[in-house]
Amino acid sequence: MLKVEHVTKYYGTILAVDDLSFEVKKGEIFGLLGVNGAGKTTTFRMITGLLDKNSGTITLNGKPIDYSVTDKIGFLTEERSLLTKLTVKEQAIYYGVLKGMQEQDILEKLDVLLKRFHIEEYKERKIKELSKGNQQKIQFITSIINDPDLLILDEPFSGLDPINVALFMDVIKELKEKGTSIIFSTHRMEHVEMFCEKLVVLVRGKSVLSGNLKQIKKDYRKKNIHIEAEHMDLEKLKEVKGVLEVIKTETEVVVKIASEENVNDVFNYVKKCEGVTKFVVEDASLNEIFLEKVGVMYENEM
């Protein structure tokens, strides 16, 4: 288990991470979210021991981060850091040996992973000859070749097409099932909603929202109602108690309401309308929650 407790980091006078605490348990997928400059990469560098913190503690399975522990951590960095003149096989051996592995074990593991990522044919190819997406697959393979207890993925999906995003997610879920703790950063909230269980949102290095994703969505009072009807007076709908916004799309009307208690008010209006074929209440998306939390934080600082 990874434990980050009251960690603070300054670069000179710039406060990059401010009294941050969170835990990632065995087999958990944890999202570290925030806008550019929020402190995500700095946090990852401190967890991997690449950067010293000013205060606080970070432990993996109860031990402070040092060389004996970093062998058990895999890190996919944001600035892609492949040795592009090497072949895929040479790169895997280089990193595997750095993580304390035997060459034979590295090669066996590499074959399995190249197959899993559908790129067996690139084993003897130089990395600079591969496409960007395939280079990212190699970097991902490199970061998990040592079967890490903790896998850190800084923007793992950036630059990937949707098919490869799905492939990366499948592999990440398989690692979770095997008990790997996974922590990743992204700007894309829909990726978080697809497979993340717990998260923390950083604004200027400080946590402004944290916890279990399902609980966060449940606790957020605003809901969205999706309605399809032949005829509906949208101006009247806007006047219904608790309605914050009415959005008409090509196929439906989305009504944003202040709280679950207003569902009945909207329903009482909609049931009087003609040809209603859909009335579905959904939690707000994580993107909406993120925009509100982060937006309010910035407004308060203005």
- Which residue, 99 or 204, is less far from ligand ATP as judged by CB? 204
Candidates 30-38, 96-104, 218-226, 231-239 — which segment interacts with ligand ATP by CB under 6 A? 30-38
Window 39 to 58, contacts with ligand ATP (CB under 6 A):
39-42
Q: How far is the CB of 192 from ligand ATP (least distance, A)?
A: 14
Record the tokens describing residue 117, joined without a space.
């990522």
Q: How far is the CB of 43 from ligand ATP (least distance, A)?
A: 7
Q: How far is the CB of 16 from ligand ATP (least distance, A)?
A: 3
Candidates 33-41, 88-96, 162-170, 232-240 — which segment interacts with ligand ATP by CB under 6 A? 33-41
Encoded one letter per residue, x for contact with ligand ATP by CB under 6 A and - for no contact, window 67-106 reads -----------x----------------------------
The secondary structure of 79-99, three-state, reads CCCCCCCCEHHHHHHHHHHHC
C-beta of residue 164 within 8 angstroms of C-beta of residue 172 = no
Candidates 10-18, 132-140, 166-174, 246-254 — which segment interacts with ligand ATP by CB under 6 A? 10-18
Q: What are phi and psi of 172, to 5 degrees?
A: -60, -40
Candidates 36-44, 84-92, 136-144, 225-233 — which segment interacts with ligand ATP by CB under 6 A? 36-44
Q: Does 298 bind ligand ATP (CB under 6 A)?
A: no
Q: Does 189 bind ligand ATP (CB under 6 A)?
A: no
Q: Does 247 bind ligand ATP (CB under 6 A)?
A: no
Record the tokens describing residue 274, joined without a space.
């003609």
**Number of residues located near ligand ATP, criterion CB under 6 A:** 12
Q: Does 156 bind ligand ATP (CB under 6 A)?
A: no
Q: How far is the CB of 239 from ligand ATP (least distance, A)?
A: 42
Question: Beta partners for 177?
Answer: none
Interface residues with ligand ATP (CB under 6 A) are 11, 14, 16, 34, 36-42, 78
